[in-house]
Amino acid sequence: MSPRITSESGLRREVLTLAADLGVHAHYCRDSLRCEGATGLPDLILAGPGGVLWRELKAGGDLDDGQRAWRDTLRKSGADWAVWTPAAWITRQVHREMQAIASPR
């Protein structure tokens, strides 16, 4: 059982550990403000044989303008974009979605 997650960094650590356990490729950019064109890019890009997830992690607060722009663009393109919060970890939503991409469709 994972420790109680109360922060975005704690959630990220758990998600990245789960990705490694499931064999899902995970990309995390520590500072998107330093990457040209990446301002607002979702925190995690997760890819497996069953698909790709674009996930913004939030333990509180709202999306900023850059995050909303990426959300809108990705959704319009048909990408699987969503926000994961600590509650998504507790309800095992994160686990279900990651397991779905870890297996071929």
Q: What are the structural domains, with CATH classification, of the chain?
A: 8-102 (3.40.1350.10)
Quote the pLDDT of residue 71: 97
Quote the pLDDT of residue 39: 83
Quote the pLDDT of residue 95: 97
Quote the pLDDT of residue 1: 46
* Beta strands per DSSP E along the chain: 25-28, 44-48, 51-57, 80-84
Quote the pLDDT of residue 6: 84
Ordered per-residue pLDDT tens for the chain, 105 residues: 455 788 999 999 999 999 999 999 999 977 666 677 678 899 999 999 999 999 999 999 999 999 999 999 999 999 999 999 999 999 999 999 999 999 876
Q: Rounded to whole angstroms, what are the CA distances from 76 to 54, 66, 70, 73, 104?
A: 13, 15, 10, 5, 24
Cβ-Cβ contacts under 8 Å for 28 (sequence gap 6 or more): 12, 16, 43, 44
DSSP tag of 92? T
Quote the pLDDT of residue 32: 64
